[in-house]
Amino acid sequence: MANNNSMIDLETLRHSTSHVMAQAVCDLFPGTKIAIGPAIDDGFYYDFDTPQNFVPEDLVKIENRMKEIISGDHKFVRSEIPKKEALEYFQKLNEPYKIELINDLVDGTISFYKHDTFTDLCRGPHLESTGKIKYFKLLSIAGAYWRGSEKNKMLQRIYGTVFNTKEELAEYLKRLEEAKKRDHRTLGKALDLFSIQDEVGPGLVLWHPKGARIRVIVEDYWRSKHLSSGYDLIFTPHIGLGKLWETSGHLDFYKENMYSPMDVDGQDFYVKPMNCPFHIMIYKSRLYSYRDLPLRWAELGTVYRYEKSGVLHGLLRVRGFTQDDAHIICAPEQMPEEIRRVLKFCINTLNAFGFRDFNFYLATKPKEKSVGDDKMWNDAIKALEEAIKAENLLCTVDEGGGAFYGPKIDIKIKDALNREWQCSTIQFDFNEPERFDMTYMDQSGKRVRPYMIHRALLGSLERFLGVLIEHYGGAFPFWLAPVQIKILTITDAQNKYADKVRDALSGYRVEMDLRNEKLGLKIREAQMEKIPYIIVLGDKEVSSGTVAVRTYHSRETVTYNLQDFLSILRQEHSLNNI
């Protein structure tokens, strides 16, 4: 390991720091049982079973003890012992979680790492010594079920981060603070957009009027672009017979994510976890010819999937959500062009919502189980690769990372804080066309199998809107803002003129604040609502037929003739000119 801290591999640095944190916790809180402590993206964590609950003040104590351990510059020493001896070691220490982990390992030697007085089960690698750790910070405390199962005990997880330089740590902590300000759960409440209430059920979203207004704008844009891009819109039920999900295979490989069936007239019905079987049944309602293809069918279909309570997270991880779903059914010779077409559609749609920076990931055929012949896989992968090249895009190839039923492209967007979010997916499916025996008549009059491509542009509306809220920090662009303009009066004497101004702004989303309150209070509240334009009306504006305008991003007030202001609004980046 190089002496220069800037050369230290971050994963090694973070894993080593998690061990130091675990020692500090055990030193400060006798009786603590240790679980696991891996390096993760941007940091590390360790799970603990303790007699007491950690509080934020404890993080400072733990950090101080960590600094003492680090200053001792203790060597990280690797050793390997037989599995039986490893079990005996942790049995003496009464560490049940380590014992369980060791029991799951194959017989043979087990690697340990020791520094100072702390020894842990670990594959490594680790730093040369604790003294190499310089710039770290403990961040938060959370609950975590042992091994992620709600059937197991809830442990306490401490998150932290560490970097090679002071500047990198400071920049990361700054981004964290900004992320807190942009948290969609906080902004959703402050802006009265949505709520998730225990009385309704975890993971089920209630859209309030302003949030619903944004959702409708997004949906209307989505529908208009699909109709103008050669798609047909369809609607399907929320429930389906068990036999349907048996045919699709979901009851075999996806049942743990499906809710228990309901008995209807002696038959099992399931709420749908996916829309595709319904789309396929529409296809099978008649026989199609090669002349009918390609078919592009899109639906905003609400689905329901079981998610563990510990992973639910605002709009980003829910149990009921509306998928931006489409299926393209085409002949083999049409497939390459359809892939190029849908890739461009994905990019253009994401651009419209303000996303310009993307990462593309191509997942290819898994080495283990897969369905479909080699030619289908090779042709599909080639079409995906060529579409990426045709658009001059850079792509990361995940060799063997595809689903068993087909290769795919995932498009991940980067938001204002440079965070990566999964949205669009272009996914081949060689499985369901086979299971449902989908066919069409080719030019020779023979029944042949079509290609079917699953496609999502936005992913789920709930998740996408959560990302949008955080990307814009709740200050939406004019065309997306639930309230575009707010009219404030100084006294009741301007109310009649305010009505006239509102009527002139017909077609825009306008609210009025005619309350008998101080103007400063009204302006502050409108600013907190992040409204793009605030119009202030006093006696001067009434007599001159003007409007005094403030924008959200400016504290300056500019006076316009009403017609001139209308011209400015018409030039805004509205839904009609995206």
In a domain, 245, yes or no: no
pLDDT value at residue 296: 98
User: In angstroms, rounded to a whole number, what is the distance separating the alpha carbons of residues 98 and 87?
Assistant: 8
For residue 577, pLDDT over 70 is answered with no
Q: Can you tell me the mean pLDDT for 370-381?
A: 89
Of 469, 496, 512, which residue sits at a domain end? Answer: 469
Of 412, 438, 469, which residue sits at a domain end? Answer: 469
Q: Can you tell me the mean pLDDT for 278-294?
A: 97
Q: Can you tell me the mean pLDDT for 133-138?
A: 96
In a domain, 387, yes or no: yes
> Which residues face 529 on adjacent strands?
none
Q: DSSP E strands: which ranges in 429-526? A: 440-441, 447-448, 451-456, 485-489, 510-513
**Whether residue 153 sits in one domain with residue 46:** yes
DSSP-derived 3-state class of residue 513: strand
Q: How far is CA 137 from CA 36, 60, 162, in A?
A: 19, 9, 6
Tokens of 363: 């997942």
Contact 346, 181 (CB under 8 A): no
> Which residues face 144 on adjacent strands?
155
pLDDT tens profile 230-240:
999 999 999 99
In a domain, 199, yes or no: no
User: Of 14, 182, 272, 323, which one is the catalytic site residue?
Assistant: 323
Contact 126, 113 (CB under 8 A): yes
Q: What interhelical angle do 209-228 and 461-472 show, nearest 10?
A: 110
For residue 5, pLDDT over 50 is answered with no
For residue 1, pLDDT over 70 is answered with no
CB atoms within 10 A of CB 264: 10
Tokens of 197: 């209430």
Q: DSSP E strands: which ranges in 340-436? A: 358-363, 395-398, 408-414, 420-428
How far is Cα of residue 534 from the mean position of the Cα atoms in its chain?
Answer: 33
**Whether residue 297 sits in one domain with residue 169:** no
**Whether residue 54 sits in one domain with residue 22:** yes
**Whether residue 217 sits in one domain with residue 304:** yes
CB atoms within 10 A of CB 54: 18
- Residue 128 DSSP label: S
User: Of 182, 327, 365, 550, which one is the catalytic site residue?
Assistant: 327
* Rama region for 566: left / alpha / beta (φ>0; ψ in -120 to 50; rest): alpha
List of long-range contacts for 514-522, beta carbons under 8 Å, 24+ apart: 514/489, 516/491, 516/492, 519/488, 519/490, 522/488
- Comparing C-alpha atoms, which of 431, 454, 143 is closest to residue 308? 143
User: Of 226, 305, 319, 455, which one is the catalytic site residue?
Assistant: 305
Q: Can you tell me the mean pLDDT for 71-75?
A: 96
With cut-offs at 50, 70 and 90, classify the pLDDT of residue 74: very high
327 carries an active-site annotation: yes
Q: How far is CA 106 from CA 75, 83, 110, 514, in A?
A: 28, 8, 9, 74
**CATH assignment of the domain containing 387:** 3.30.930.10
325 carries an active-site annotation: yes
pLDDT tens profile 415-435:
988 889 988 999 999 999 999
pLDDT value at residue 3: 39
Q: b/e map of 440-464 (b: 16 or more CB within 10 Å)?
A: beeeeeeeebbbbbbbbbbbbbbbb
Tokens of 121: 């089960």
**Whether residue 231 sits in one domain with residue 93:** no
CA 350, 353, 356: angle at the middle one, nearest 5? 55
Tokens of 66: 């960590």
User: Of 272, 408, 486, 550, which one is the catalytic site residue?
Assistant: 408
**Whether residue 350 sits in one domain with residue 215:** yes
pLDDT value at residue 205: 97
**Whether residue 489 sits in one domain with residue 458:** no
In a domain, 270, yes or no: no
518 carries an active-site annotation: no
For residue 575, pLDDT over 50 is answered with no
User: In angstroms, rounded to a whole number, what is the distance separating the alpha carbons of residues 508 and 504?
Assistant: 10
Task: Provide CB contacts within 8 A for 342, sequence distance 6+.
Answer: 328, 426, 453, 455
User: Of 276, 330, 346, 423, which one is the catalytic site residue?
Assistant: 276
Task: Provide CB contacts within 8 A for 292, sequence distance 6+.
Answer: 440
User: Of 325, 410, 415, 429, which one is the catalytic site residue?
Assistant: 325
Q: Hey, what's the torsion of the CAs at 117, 121, 122, 123, to 10 degrees? A: 130
pLDDT value at residue 2: 38
pLDDT value at residue 370: 87
Only one residue has tokens 């996914």, namely 427
More confident residue, 574 or 509: 509
Amino acid letter, residue 549: V
- Residue 259 DSSP label: P
33 carries an active-site annotation: no
In a domain, 434, yes or no: yes
User: In angstroms, rounded to a whole number, what is the distance separating the alpha carbons of residues 185 and 421?
Assistant: 17
Q: Can you tell me the mean pLDDT for 361-383?
A: 90
User: Of 454, 455, 463, 550, which one is the catalytic site residue?
Assistant: 454
Please state, rounded to an integer, the average pLDDT across all residues of the chain: 93
**Whether residue 351 sits in one domain with residue 426:** yes
379 phi/psi in degrees, rounded to 5? -65, -40
pTM of structure: 0.86
Counted residue by residue, the chain has a size of 578
In a domain, 561, yes or no: yes
Q: How far is CA 223 from CA 246, 564, 567, in A?
A: 31, 33, 28
454 carries an active-site annotation: yes
Domain count, the chain: 3
Only one residue has tokens 């604040």, namely 513
**Whether residue 568 sits in one domain with residue 423:** no
**CATH assignment of the domain containing 163:** 3.30.980.10
Burial class for 129, CB neighbours closer than 10 Å (0-12, 13-18, 19+):
middle
For residue 315, pLDDT over 90 is answered with yes
- Comparing C-alpha atoms, which of 56, 69, 84, 75 is closest to residue 27? 69
Q: Can you tell me the mean pLDDT for 282-310?
A: 95
With cut-offs at 50, 70 and 90, classify the pLDDT of residue 578: low
Structural domain range at position 231 = 207-235+293-469
**Whether residue 412 sits in one domain with residue 333:** yes
For residue 254, pLDDT over 80 is answered with yes
Of 439, 469, 499, which residue sits at a domain end? Answer: 469
For residue 34, pLDDT over 50 is answered with yes
* Rama region for 490: left / alpha / beta (φ>0; ψ in -120 to 50; rest): alpha
User: In angstroms, rounded to a whole number, what is the distance separating the alpha carbons of residues 420 and 358?
Assistant: 8
**Whether residue 157 sits in one domain with residue 103:** yes
**Whether residue 463 sits in one domain with residue 517:** no
Tokens of 443: 């030019």
More confident residue, 72 or 575: 72
Tokens of 319: 């149990």
Tokens of 566: 């209308």
Question: Could you report how far apart the first and last alpha carbons of the chain are, in Å?
Answer: 53
With cut-offs at 50, 70 and 90, classify the pLDDT of residue 105: confident
Contact 220, 233 (CB under 8 A): no
423 carries an active-site annotation: no
pLDDT tens profile 460-474:
999 999 999 999 999
Q: What interhelical angle do 461-472 and 166-182 show, nearest 10?
A: 120
Q: Label the pairing between strands 43-49 and 154-163.
A: antiparallel
Only one residue has tokens 């309901």, namely 262
For residue 573, pLDDT over 70 is answered with no
In a domain, 192, yes or no: no
**CATH assignment of the domain containing 527:** 3.40.50.800
pLDDT value at residue 491: 95
pLDDT value at residue 7: 62
For residue 571, pLDDT over 90 is answered with no
> Which residues face 297 on adjacent strands?
232, 327
In a domain, 70, yes or no: yes
